[in-house]
A = this chain, B = another copy of it.
């Protein structure tokens, strides 16, 4: 069978499974998630064995230590996956909620009810625990999922998917609701994103190159974010101690993630009081500062920023710093360079805080808090399947509810249209 036929068949099976999933009650889905957690523990030796095949190939291929670390499944990581499954089971089921209902002048009662999206294509790189996380969120929200993981994790992903599908089967649910594409060909991505009749949505997670490729070529709608170039604007009316703590946290606590601060904008009236002591803290943490000319006057040891630094997602202990004459210039800078992901203001001024909230066109806008809170768990969505920085469907962190949509339901008594 050709790769195309295989993936087309998987999509057809997923669509048939999705029809069954629409009808499930919460208890059935939670029972399957619980059995999955039990199976992962019971079969952890087999999982670790399959994972070792991936690891030895990765070492032979000369993958970096960081990559190998992300690929490794041990008892702790497997325990983490089972905790994740049980956390998803504990979340409310979004499906079936009537989000509104109203009466029309002709007596029709019209409303909207939350339903699953249908079939989700999930394309990701590296970490095999994403296989379990994504499958759990898709199942709980009533969706079938086709997973295409990184080629370096193929053996791990295949055994994990087998265990999950087995648990589905043994709780009376359609096993084709969770499928991993069991080959490493890059061509599989191309085929998957062309199946617009059977897939409802594609979620790519990984490097910007993968995501741009998927977005450019997919016939299926895509939810994605390219990068997070997050700004904090330290206003003239900021509490400077708070500003230091929040900016330090946003840059240093976990610099390699998309909600870390990449550019700090500082009002010139407080720059002299703020920047030297802030830069001292950053220097102690090993942060390299790349500043505008005014920044360099106040932090002589900083490097001069070049044009490419302003739109950059460093994902590292590097920070671009710009002194601005007023809030308008901060807003203009954000409008020009932000990735519409997350921005924050530090201020005690009422007007400035409200203006920042209203005018910044990003998926998460914070007052006096670290950009690191831009995350489904932290914002209270319960779990996160990803972040979307396009405006469509769900802007920002996406949890279970964002894996659903609504349909209209109408109760009539024989109404006809005149």
Residues of B close to A367: CB separation below 8 A: 410-412
Q: In A375-418, which residues have CB < 8 Å from any B CB?
A: 378-380, 390-397, 405-418
Residues of B close to A335: CB separation below 8 A: 19
Chain B minimum-CB-distance residue to A353: B411
> Do the beta carbons of B364 and A407 come within 8 Å of each other?
yes
Given known contacts A104-B378, A410-B373, is B222 in contact with A416 (CB within 8 Å)? Answer: no
> Do the beta carbons of B242 and A414 come within 8 Å of each other?
yes
A216 at the B interface (CB under 8 A): yes
Given known contacts A396-B408, A410-B369, is B246 in contact with A378 (CB within 8 Å)? Answer: no
Task: Report the minimal beta-carbon distance from A249 to chain B, rounded to whole angstroms.
Answer: 4
Given known contacts A367-B412, A407-B395, is B417 in contact with A249 (CB within 8 Å)? Answer: yes
Chain B minimum-CB-distance residue to A375: B417
A366 at the B interface (CB under 8 A): yes
What CA separation (Å) do A361 and B363 show in the bound complex? 30
> Do the beta carbons of B108 and A373 come within 8 Å of each other?
yes
> Do the beta carbons of A408 and B417 come within 8 Å of each other?
no
Task: Report the minimal beta-carbon distance from A86 to chain B, rounded to whole angstroms.
Answer: 20
A255 at the B interface (CB under 8 A): no
Each complex incorporates copies of this chain amounting to: 2
> Do the beta carbons of A201 and B108 come within 8 Å of each other?
no
What CA separation (Å) do A268 and B414 show in the bound complex? 21
- With most chain B CB atoms within 10 A of its CB, the pick from A23, A108, A365 is A108
Given known contacts A219-B216, A367-B412, A410-B364, is B373 in contact with A117 (CB within 8 Å)? Answer: no
A357 at the B interface (CB under 8 A): yes
Chain B minimum-CB-distance residue to A250: B416
A196 at the B interface (CB under 8 A): yes
> Do the beta carbons of B219 and A390 come within 8 Å of each other?
no
What CA separation (Å) do A411 and B417 show in the bound complex? 48
A93 at the B interface (CB under 8 A): no
Task: Report the minimal beta-carbon distance from A309 to chain B, rounded to whole angstroms.
Answer: 20
Task: Report the minimal beta-carbon distance from A278 to chain B, rounded to whole angstroms.
Answer: 14
Given known contacts A118-B391, A405-B392, is B219 in contact with A221 (CB within 8 Å)? Answer: no
Task: Report the minimal beta-carbon distance from A412 to chain B, rounded to whole angstroms.
Answer: 3
A110 at the B interface (CB under 8 A): yes
A79 at the B interface (CB under 8 A): no
Task: Report the minimal beta-carbon distance from A377 to chain B, rounded to whole angstroms.
Answer: 10
> Do the beta carbons of A362 and B393 come within 8 Å of each other?
no
Residues of B close to A108: CB separation below 8 A: 369, 373
Q: Would you give 27 A-B contacts (Cβ < 8 Å), ordered by A?
A: A23-B358, A104-B378, A115-B395, A118-B361, A196-B215, A221-B222, A246-B414, A246-B415, A253-B417, A253-B418, A361-B407, A366-B410, A367-B412, A368-B411, A368-B414, A368-B415, A369-B412, A372-B416, A373-B412, A373-B417, A374-B408, A379-B410, A391-B405, A392-B392, A392-B405, A393-B393, A397-B408
